[in-house]
Amino acid sequence: MIKRLDGEVRRPHLFGWVAGALAGALLATPAVALTSELRQDAPARYTVVKGDTLWDISGRFLQHPWQWPEVWDVNPQIRNPHLIYPGDSVYLYYENGQPRLGLERGQGSVVRLSPEVRQVPRREAIPPLPLDTVESFLEGNRIVEPGMTEAVPYVVAGNDRRIISGAGDRLYVRGTLPSMQRFGLYRPGQRYEDPDTGEFLGVELETLGEARFIRQQGDIAMLEVVSSRQEIRDADLVLPLESLPVTPEFQPRAPDRPSEGHILAVPGGVQFIGRLDVVALDLGERDGLEPGHVLAVEQRGELVTDPVTQELIRLPGEDAGWLMVFRVYDRISYALVMHATRSLAVGDRVHSPQGVDRLINDGGV
């Protein structure tokens, strides 16, 4: 099911020249005037420091840091256009009246257009967003699809029938476990439903810890707790560990097709959503979302009383921020708030940034 964005659209601003700079190469840019996309206070040069992110650096030069145009069509062999390191300098210059960004490595050599992939130490590259915030969140939360919690092995007891609290404790699990060494321990949390259709989208699981398989006897398995975040109780679930796919290698960009959804929840119970908060969305892989996709957030308009008819009407909403998707499931995704001009809230609409519809219709994506 694809949620379509209706309404007026405009061609998006193009961002290939920034992608090229961050790749360590100057990439060809479509023949469109880009001057209007520069920030009025864009610096002539900026030296990267430890703790910078791709989003931060792009935002120093551009009004919209997420915008990435047809750079992949021009240089599809360049897989990591964000690789940039502390000590490097990004500088602004003009060519044929068009703005460009150059990259000067910390050693003093100016990087120019090159078709080959540059071999540089990835461990030193700055990330696209604050990865420590994202990784910390993912270690404590995951989504399971509808039906996945049915017939899942679960805890029935601990050593001497006591509460299981830490590393080294034994626990007994009812159910047949797959042949693997490590398992995650989880507790079901919020159940997510589509706010429009009522469709069951998935269940959020809270991560309790990890356990090591010892042996299976009939339908009872014995495990040893390796690590724990909190006490483990009877009926807590045991599932194979989830891999954490977030790496510094994905790039902020607009979705490949129009999408529209809502903020479903704020894990952790935060009431007012702001920058660097994590939110759950009712959009996922089936809607075309991928890690790195950026969505605009439209704050819901205020409910007012019509002075003539006395009926309640809702005023049009206004875009109030941007989210970057970092973990995608089939029906749900997690995103990080990268920018917010006002407090966001559960129920606010999210959609493809303005211009994506027309670019797709014109054959630009």
Q: Which domain holds residue 208?
A: 135-240
Per the structure block, which two tokens stand in for 46?
A: 């900026």
The reply to whether 292 falls in a domain is yes
More confident residue, 3 or 354: 354
> Do residues 61 and 39 make contact, with C-beta atoms less than 8 angstroms apart?
yes
The CB-side HSE value for 224 (13 A sphere, CA atoms) comes to 7
209 vs 168: CA distance, rounded Å? 12
Considering the domain boundaries, does residue 140 fall inside one? yes
Say yes or no: 96 and 194 in one domain. no
H-assigned helices in 205-347: none
Structure tokens at 84: 């940039």
270 and 230 within one domain: no
Same domain, 287 and 231: no
* Structure confidence at residue 114 as a pLDDT band (50, 70, 90): very low
Q: Please state the rounded mean pLDDT for residues 292-312.
A: 89
Is 165 domain-assigned? yes
- Residues 276 and 293 reside in one and the same domain: yes
Using the predicted structure, report yes or no on whether residue 119 has a pLDDT greater than 80: no
Q: Are residues 3 and 107 in the same domain?
A: yes
pLDDT at 21 over 80: no
Domain boundary among 85, 107, 126: 126
pLDDT tier for residue 160 given thresholds of 50, 70 and 90: low
pLDDT mean over 139-157: 86
Mean pLDDT calculated for residue range 102-121: 51
Helix (H, G, I), strand (E, B) or coil at 135: helix
Whether 24 has a pLDDT exceeding 50, the answer reads no
Cα–Cα distance, 303 to 315 (Å, whole number): 6
pTM for the structure as a whole: 0.73
What backbone phi and psi angles, to 5 degrees, belong to 293? -65, 140
* Domain co-membership, 322 together with 260: yes
**Rounded-to-integer distance, Cα 280 and Cα 98, Å:** 39
Which H helix or E strand runs over 319?
A: strand 318-328
Q: What is the mean pLDDT of the chain?
A: 75
Share of the chain above pLDDT 70, in %: 71
Whether residues 218 and 294 share a domain: the answer is no
pLDDT value at residue 163: 63
Answer with the one of 126, 156, 180 that is the final residue of a domain. Answer: 126
What per-residue confidence (pLDDT) applies to 67?
A: 59
**Other beta carbons within 10 Å of 23:** 25
CATH number at residue 203: 2.40.30
**Tell me, what DSSP letter sits at residue 53?**
-
Q: How far apart are the first and last CA of the chain?
A: 21
Q: Of 240, 266, 299, which residue sits at a domain end? A: 240
Number of domains in the chain: 3
Q: What is the pLDDT of residues 27-84, one digit of tens each?
A: 333 333 444 477 889 898 999 898 888 788 878 887 777 754 332 222 233 344 456 7
CATH of the domain at 267: 2.40.10.410
362: alpha, beta or left, given left = phi > 0 and alpha = psi -120 to 50? alpha
Q: Is residue 248 part of a domain?
A: no
Considering the domain boundaries, does residue 247 fall inside one? no
Q: Both 214 and 278 in a single domain?
A: no
Compute the half-sphere exposure of residue 38: CA atoms within 13 Å on the CB side of its CA: 17
